[in-house]
């Protein structure tokens, strides 16, 4: 950690800004306030591994080679290991990228992986060095190996070990020795050198090799195992063997295609994507989607939605996941409905709405098509391994950006380039028994749906997808001008020729049904659609005024005016009110006083009759509020003892509202009541250049700002890494959510996101999203902490 902090302190403002730009997770809320905090965050395995995942093959291969070389890592040793000249420019570029991102440190001509960046258990399939393996062995063992190799034992253990290390470090010595080995032993050693350092063989085979240090025991007692030293494995792989280093990305074959046709097809697909997303969001706005008890939207609900949108259930999975990724949907209790951001999106201009979709797609941590391959037709379920999808999508976009404009490619030819762009992601996908080629094909299909790819060719959207400013320019250029007016006809239809503006589409969607789409969009009005608008709170006069304002000729046909007026006359003649519980008393003056009490405003009290007042909150909350305001109510319910004033029973949906009876006596300890508090903590990332300037101004010696919280967490959770303890302390200070791995008193492990954290000694109180309630966690039982 000190080495990393020292390296950060030597960076200038430009270098530090570049680091923060290349590793955006470092800007997550709460942003680091000092270089010490930045160093701790960088050393968290989550941060270091996130940075590694985004690197192409050359840098990942160099990082693994540095890990394999361990304490012997230097620029010269690295070049020799990968079979390159020490001055090789491609090798230098790959290494400098790692250094610039703080993943490899160069200290006194020695290369060291930064904390958290050593993700390989056996880098390059190699074990520890001879010196490291001999370090914890007894002197008698080392002396025996020295005798067997003929180097002679020394009086001191260290001297004997040094002689063994020197002898085994000479590849020719190792190869000559193995050539003398019994055939089964030689075969075993060859396999071990190629496939991994840990030996699983009977004593009859391993004994000869162990006596000569070709495999060395690691660990003590029952936990010990025989491991082949790194120098031995490299020698047995042959004098021509070098570690993989592939500095150039495989280029997919391309064929010419008309660039103008690609641009037209891309724009058409983008407009169609906007239309389809708008239709799905309109359906969610009118009828929220029911959630399954186990979470997500099931196939039955998707089939219902399919009937109103014209999409298939499989297609809806993509649109719903995309909407959720963009923050356009909210989960409210047991349903999914349009969020405020979703309402605002429907009113955006086409170009701005599409930019939102592009960002949501680029960062979406899921590829619904992959789950569909397994037969799972469920929406709004985020898979546990979804973290690899967004980097894979980014890798695909970067590969497509290298395709020459006006050329199309076969998606089957993209697997190798994508693997080169994101080798760790490719490994993770295949480790999960998934097919990388199938994953690339699914992402390609998503890109086609959005117009990112058209006619098999990357559109201009691909080349600007990582530059928000240029993306906005390209999208505004490709999108036709939005149409802000409609032609209303006597057959109760409205026709918009061209893409409707967001506000026009939202207005017409709110009071009519879309009948057709394409170059011209047609909406049809009916009594049901007008009634739905009135149900949503619109007034007939407002509807008429707003429709007239967007009419091409500023007038509405008489049939449409008559329809709106006729539906409005009948609307609201019968009214339905939701009542959670009722207050009843023969003392009408008392009820009038209660209804007018300011401290009870949050109950939403409504006088239904002189002796009955309705409350909009459940019975127990109403009772508590009344008592806090100085009244003395009792429960008026045949199922409970009225004198007790409380009951463990909670009414569920469909049960009658509870009734509270009020006596005429004031509570002796009258109070003004409690006003509900509002709160919310959190923050957002900041500009890398500005943060870099602030961190450098604070200086390298500025201490972390979370001393008290960090001390408590350190005392209570010594099992966590320093980075994890720091993250947890930051979460307590800033109120940000984190993901923890927790083991309860019965030894059962679980993963859960917690927020609103408070420390009380060795106990952590937090709101648990898994249980949807406040829970208490012993710091000593928390096994890991990562950003949520």
CA 87, distance to chain mean position in Å, is: 40
pLDDT at residue 652 greater than cutoff 50: no
Contact by Cβ (8 Å): 613, 592: no
Which pair of tokens denotes residue 729?
A: 């302390």
Closest of 482, 476, 518 to residue 500, by C-alpha: 482
Rounded to the nearest angstrom, the gap between the alpha carbon of residue 399 and the centroid of all alpha carbons in its chain is 23
Element (H, E) at 66: helix 57-69
Of residues 761 and 705, more confidently modeled:
761
At residue 42, the 3 state secondary structure works out as: helix
Predicted confidence band of residue 385 (pLDDT cuts 50, 70, 90): low
What residues does each domain of the chain span?
130-236, 256-478, 487-570, 581-662, 706-787
Q: Which of 3-7, 559-563, 626-630 has the highest mean pLDDT?
A: 559-563
Residue among 237, 319, 227 nearest 281 (CA): 319
- Computed on alpha carbons and rounded to an integer, the radius of gyration of the chain in Å comes to 34
Start-to-end CA distance of the chain, whole Å, equals 24
Asked if 363 contacts 407 with a C-beta cutoff of 8 angstroms, the reply is no
- Comparing 296-300, 408-412, 727-731, the range with the smallest average pLDDT is 727-731
Query: How, if at all, do strands 407-409 and 329-332 pair?
Result: unpaired
Rounded to 10 degrees, what is the CA torsion of 574, 580, 586, 587?
-110
Query: Is residue 752 scored above 80 in pLDDT?
Result: yes
Backbone φ and ψ for 181, nearest 5 degrees, come out as -75, 150
Question: Cα–Cα distance between 498 and 476 in angstroms, integer?
Answer: 15
Of 153-167, 337-351, 673-687, which gets the smallest average pLDDT? 673-687
DSSP designation for 24? G
In whole angstroms, what is the distance from residue 660 CA to residue 658 CA? 7
CA dihedral sign, ordered 391, 395, 397, 398: positive
Mean pLDDT of the region 537-557: 94
- Rounded to whole angstroms, the Cα distance separating 644 from 620 reads 12
Q: What is the pLDDT of residues 501-517, one digit of tens each?
A: 888 988 998 899 888 77
Taking the C-alpha atoms of residue 524 and residue 495, their distance in angstroms, rounded to an integer, is: 9
Integer Cα distance of 649 and 407 in angstroms: 69
Q: Which pLDDT tens digit goes with each residue over 433-489? A: 788 999 999 999 999 999 999 999 999 999 999 898 999 999 999 988 889 999 999
What secondary structure does DSSP assign to 323-348, as a single string?
HHHTT-EEEETTEEEE-HHHHHHTTS
Which residue did the predictor score with more confidence, 599 or 354? 354
User: Which of 229-238, 293-302, 704-713 is the least confident region?
Assistant: 704-713
Q: How confident is the model at residue 646 (pLDDT cuts 50, 70, 90)?
A: very low
- In terms of average pLDDT, the best of 396-405, 594-603, 664-673 is 396-405
Question: What HEC string does 361-381 produce?
Answer: HHHCCCCHHHHHHCCCCCECC
List the structure tokens of 771: 């249980």
Q: Read off the tokens for 340.
A: 């405020």
Distance CA 38, CA 184 (A): 53
Instruction: Give the tens place of pLDDT for each residue, 551-567.
Output: 999 999 999 999 999 99
The whole-number pLDDT of residue 684 equals 42
The torsion region of residue 146 among left (phi > 0), alpha (psi -120 to 50) and beta comes to alpha
Whether the CB-CB separation of 357 and 321 falls below 8 Å is answered with no
Lowest-pLDDT range of 146-150, 373-377, 607-611: 373-377
Q: What pLDDT is attached to residue 451?
A: 96
Which pLDDT score is estimated for 640?
39
- The pairing of beta strand 329-332 with beta strand 335-338: antiparallel
Give, to the nearest 10 degrees, the angle between helix 13-22 and helix 89-100: 90
State pLDDT tens for residues 171-221.
999 999 999 999 999 999 999 999 888 877 667 678 899 999 999 988 765
d(CA 60, CA 573): 70
3-state helix vs strand vs coil in the chain, percent to 5: 50, 15, 35
Express each pLDDT in 232-289 by its tens digit: 999 999 989 999 999 999 999 889 999 999 999 999 999 999 989 998 998 898 889 9
- Rounded Cα distance between 20 and 687, Å, is 9
Strands 738-743 and 606-609: unpaired
In degrees, rounded to 5, the angle at the alpha carbon of residue 727 between the alpha carbons of residues 726 and 730 is 85
Give yes or no for residue 32 having a pLDDT over 90: no
pLDDT of amino acid 656: 45
What pLDDT was estimated at residue 152?
A: 84
Look over the chain and give the mean of its residue pLDDT values, rounded to a whole number: 86
Give per-residue pLDDT as tens, 727-738.
888 888 777 788
- How far CA 105 is from CA of 40, 76, 615, in Å, comes to 15, 15, 65
Phi-psi group of 116: left, alpha or beta (phi > 0 → left; psi -120 to 50 → alpha; rest → beta): left
pLDDT at 126: 92
Q: Give per-residue burial for 177-212: e unless 16+ CB within 10 Å, then b.
A: bbeebeeebbebbeebbeebbebebeeebbebbbeb
pLDDT classification of 602: cutoffs 50, 70, 90: confident
523 alpha carbon, distance to own chain's centre? 38
**In the structure encoding, which two tokens stand for residue 20, read together?**
């923060």
Angle made by CA atoms 572, 575, 581, in degrees to the nearest 5: 160
Give the residue from 62, 15, 64, 65 showing the smallest Cα distance to 38. Answer: 15
In order of 29, 31, 32, the CA distances from 734 in angstroms are 8, 10, 11
| Phi-psi map region of 508: left, alpha, beta (phi>0 left; psi -120 to 50 alpha) | alpha
Q: Give the Cα separation of 477 and 498 in Å (integer).
A: 16
Q: Enter the CATH code of domain 706-787.
A: 2.30.30
pTM: 0.74
d(CA 669, CA 250): 80
- Top-confidence residue, 153 or 700: 153
Q: Helix/strand/coil (H, E, C) string of 476-520?
A: HHHCCCCECCEEEECCCEEEEECCECHHHHHHHHHHCEEEECCCE
**Is residue 228 within 8 Å of residue 122, measured between CB atoms?**
no
What's the pLDDT at 683?
A: 36
Extended strands (E) in 542-593: 581-584
């Amino acid at each position: 950690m000190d080495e990393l902090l020292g390296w950060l302190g030597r960076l200038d403002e430009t270098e530090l800004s570049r680091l923060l730009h290349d590793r955006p997770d470092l800007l997550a809320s709460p942003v680091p306030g000092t270089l010490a905090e930045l160093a701790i965050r960088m050393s968290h395995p989550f941060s270091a591994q996130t940075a590694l995942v985004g690197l192409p093959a050359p840098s990942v291969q160099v990082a693994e080679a540095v890990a394999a070389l361990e304490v012997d890592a230097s620029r010269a040793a690295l070049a020799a290991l990968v079979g390159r000249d020490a001055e090789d420019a491609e090798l230098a570029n790959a290494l400098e990228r790692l250094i610039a991102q703080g993943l490899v440190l160069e200290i006194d001509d020695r290369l060291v992986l930064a904390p958290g960046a050593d993700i390989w258990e056996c880098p390059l399939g190699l074990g520890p060095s001879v010196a490291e393996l001999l370090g914890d062995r007894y002197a008698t063992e080392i002396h025996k190996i020295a005798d067997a190799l003929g180097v002679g034992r020394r009086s001191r253990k260290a001297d004997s070990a040094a002689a063994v290390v020197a002898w085994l470090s000479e590849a020719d010595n190792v190869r000559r020795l193995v050539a003398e080995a019994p055939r089964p032993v030689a075969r075993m050693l060859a396999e071990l050198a190629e496939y991994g350092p840990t030996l699983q063989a009977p004593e009859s085979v391993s004994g000869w090799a162990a006596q000569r240090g070709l495999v060395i025991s690691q660990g003590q007692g029952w936990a010990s195992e025989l491991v082949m030293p790194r120098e031995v494995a490299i020698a047995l792989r042959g004098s021509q063997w070098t570690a993989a280093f592939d500095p150039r990305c495989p280029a997919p074959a391309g064929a010419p295609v008309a660039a103008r046709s690609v641009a037209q097809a891309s724009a058409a697909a983008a407009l169609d994507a906007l239309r389809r997303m708008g239709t799905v969001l309109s359906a969610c706005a009118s009828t929220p989607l029911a959630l399954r008890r186990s979470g997500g939207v099931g196939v039955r609900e998707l089939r219902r939605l399919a009937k109103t949108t014209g999409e298939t259930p499989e297609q809806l999975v993509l649109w719903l996941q995309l909407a959720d990724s963009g923050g356009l949907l909210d989960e409210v209790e047991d349903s999914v409905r349009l969020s405020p951001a979703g309402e605002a999106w429907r009113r955006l201009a086409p170009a701005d709405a599409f930019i939102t979709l592009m960002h949501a797609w680029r960062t979406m941590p899921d590829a619904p098509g992959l789950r569909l391959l397994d037969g799972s037709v469920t929406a709004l379920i985020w898979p546990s391994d979804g973290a690899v999808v967004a980097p894979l999508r980014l890798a695909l976009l970067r590969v497509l950006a290298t395709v020459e404009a006006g050329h199309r490619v076969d998606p089957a030819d993209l697997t190798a380039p994508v693997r080169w762009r994101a080798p760790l992601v490719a490994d993770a996908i295949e480790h999960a028994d998934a097919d990388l080629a199938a994953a690339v094909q699914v992402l390609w299909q998503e890109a086609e749906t959005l117009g990112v790819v058209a006619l098999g060719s990357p559109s201009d959207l691909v080349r600007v997808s990582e530059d928000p400013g240029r993306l906005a320019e390209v999208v505004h250029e490709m999108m036709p001008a939005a149409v802000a007016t409609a032609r209303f006809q006597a057959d109760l239809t409205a026709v918009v020729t061209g893409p409707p503006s967001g506000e026009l589409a939202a207005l017409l969607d709110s009071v009519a049904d879309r009948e057709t789409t394409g170059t011209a969009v047609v909406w049809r009005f009916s009594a049901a659609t007008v009634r739905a608008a009135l149900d949503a709170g619109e007034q007939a006069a407002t509807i008429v005024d707003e429709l007239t304002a967007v009419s091409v000729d500023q007038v509405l046909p008489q049939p449409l005016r008559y329809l709106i007026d006729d539906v409005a006359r009948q609307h609201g003649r019968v009214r339905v009110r939701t009542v959670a519980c009722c207050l009843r008393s023969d003392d009408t003056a008392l009820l009038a006083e209660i209804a007018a009490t300011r401290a009870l405003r949050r109950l939403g009290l409504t006088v239904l009759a002189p002796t009955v007042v309705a409350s909009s909150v459940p019975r127990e909350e109403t009772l508590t509020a009344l008592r806090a305001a100085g009244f003395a109510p009792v429960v008026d319910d045949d199922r409970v003892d009225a004198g007790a004033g409380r009951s463990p029973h909670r009414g569920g949906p469909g049960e009658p509202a509870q009734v509270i009876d009020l006596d005429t006596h004031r509570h002796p300890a009258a109070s003004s009541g409690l006003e509900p508090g509002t709160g919310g903590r959190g923050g957002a990332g900041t500009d890398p250049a500005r943060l870099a300037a602030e961190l450098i101004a604070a200086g390298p010696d500025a201490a972390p700002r979370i001393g008290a919280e960090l001390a408590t967490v350190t005392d209570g959770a010594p099992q966590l890494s320093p980075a994890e303890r720091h993250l947890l302390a930051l979460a307590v200070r800033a109120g940000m959510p984190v993901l923890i791995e927790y083991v309860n008193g019965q030894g059962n492990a679980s993963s859960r996101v917690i927020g609103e954290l408070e420390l009380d000694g060795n106990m952590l109180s937090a709101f648990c999203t898994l249980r949807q309630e406040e829970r208490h966690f012993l710091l000593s039982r928390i096994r890991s902490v990562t950003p949520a």
